[in-house]
Structure 1
Amino acid sequence: MNSPAHPPVLLRIDFVSDIVCPWCAIGLAALEQALERVDGEVRAEIHFQPFELNPQMPAEGEDITEHLQKKYGLSEAQLVENQERIHARGAELGFTFGMGARKRTYNTFDAHRLLHWAGLEGEGKQAALKHALLAAYFTDGRNVSDHATLLDIVRTVDLPAERVQQILASDEFSADVREDEERYRRNGISAVPAVIINQRHLISGGQPVEVFERALRQIAQSGDAR
């Protein structure tokens, strides 16, 4: 007689990231593929947490090349090399970085407010919105600070447009987002993506699928479950 299979171990994953961070798109794709590999062994609840790379960014944004050169001191050749590496990693994972689409970087605070709200709207809503926002920015080069654009993006993921308009016309969830951002800063998060498993195990950066897979298995087998 076969012994009963063990139920999958439930893990909480807090994915701290920004919408205009290419390595966050890469990290999320790799994490999700790792979760597919451990399906049946691990079940995950992913909570998308806010982090603004440039909280002082004006609504109209900045030219992406000028911004990166100013912020990181990169030469044009280094920027091209970085972009090629990002595009290649995305292609490996099935995420499309639109060639030449991302010409500007934008303020993401309102997008994070909508993600916070989507997390209250039911299972899968927040993840669907996160994917839609990343694709809108990185694949299509859209302005993710523009309210009309945000409304259009939300409509694609079966969330109520009327509620979005109410949120964007107010300061609703602003305090929640700022509180979450401050909590992660206090806990030493200064770069993203930061993947926190069961609120104690940190994996930093857009790691390969194998790194996430190995960590998920080790944590699940350690008995450190929710």
Structure 2
Amino acid sequence: MSSGLNILQIDIVSDVVCPWCVIGYRQLATALEASGMPHEIHWHPFELNPNMPVQGQNLREHVAEKYGTSKQQSQDSRIQMTEAAAQVGFEFNFSDDMRMHNTFNVHQLLHWADQFGRMHDLKQALFSAHFTDGKNLSDINVLADVAAEIGLERSDALAVLTDQRFASDVRVAQQFWLDQGIQGVPAVVFNRRHLVTGAQGVENYSRILKQLAEESA
């Protein structure tokens, strides 16, 4: 079964409404491409706001309530994140009416997509839907549309979200990572041994990958 190559196992615990999750992933992906290391990425669910109501909340209001952030601090943060994202080829389009969403349905849809080997593709499409296109991820019809855009069956996606058939599976997966002590995202685990949290930057990820390559050699 072995190809003789050491394949780096990468588990990423994240939420699609987490800006540093997409920035961190893009930074890691850039470092991985430069390194040429064979690797496998597995995404895992985490809800930033499990108690968020179905209709969501204005993002600026949410950030102010949750973190005590002033309007100026919020604006400064948006500029910083937009610039960091642009450096790794991702576009943020923050607006005054942008909303924070409850993402439990999002994680169920990702779980379903994994059955077809498309979780990674759907994850990227959802990042773009939220941060670039400002789509309403609280709406199951919007989620089904995003699934359809990457070639998955829209009616099946809608059925999954309507009957909540994967709700318990997602809860179990979320609890597993909470039990491992993951309290914030992004959380990246290399070879199920080395935990790295936050968006580290391309340079730091490159250094980490080099150390891992030396270790496996």
Q: TM-score, normalised by structure 1?
A: 0.91
Matched, 1:81 2:104: no
Where does residue 103 of structure 1 map in the other structure?
98
Query: Secondary structure of 1:9's match?
Result: coil
Task: Give yes or no for contact 1:102–1:140 (8 Å, CA) kept in 2.
Answer: no
Segment drifting more, 214-223 vs 197-206 = 214-223
- Name the aligned partner's letter for residue 188 of structure 2: V
Query: Secondary structure of 2:7's match?
Result: strand
Alignment CA distance shift 1:10-1:132 (3 Å)? same
CA distance, structure 2, for counterparts of residue 186 and residue 51 of structure 1: 12
- Name the aligned partner's letter for residue 155 of structure 2: E
Where does residue 128 of structure 1 map in the other structure?
121
Task: Give yes or no for contact 1:101–1:139 (8 Å, CA) kept in 2.
Answer: no
Task: Give yes or no for contact 2:186–2:197 (8 Å, CA) kept in 1.
Answer: yes
Deviation at 1:217, TM superposition (A): 2.1
Please list every run of 5 or more consecutive structure 1 residues that lacks an aligned counterpart in the other structure: 1-5
Matched, 1:46 2:29: no
Where does residue 175 of structure 1 map in the other structure?
168
CA distance, structure 1, for counterparts of residue 150 and residue 77 of structure 2: 31
Matched, 1:153 2:146: yes
Deviations 1:91-145 (A, max 9, x none): 11110001427611111111101111212212xx111100100000000111112
Matched, 1:90 2:90: no
- Identity among equivalent positions (%) equals 41
CA distance, structure 2, for counterparts of residue 58 and residue 12 of structure 1: 35
Query: Secondary structure of 1:158's match?
Result: coil
CA RMSD of aligned residues (A): 1.6
Task: Give yes or no for contact 2:144–2:155 (8 Å, CA) kept in 1.
Answer: no
Residue in structure 1 matching 2:20, options 20, 23, 32? 23
Q: TM-score, normalised by structure 2?
A: 0.94
CA distance, structure 2, for counterparts of residue 163 and residue 216 of structure 1: 38
- Counting matched residue pairs gives 215
Runs of 4+ with deviation above 4 angstroms = none
Deviations 1:176-225 (A, max 9, x none): 1111111111111111000011111111001101111221221122128x
Task: Give yes or no for contact 1:15–1:46 (8 Å, CA) kept in 2.
Answer: yes
Matched, 1:137 2:134: no
Matched, 1:195 2:188: yes
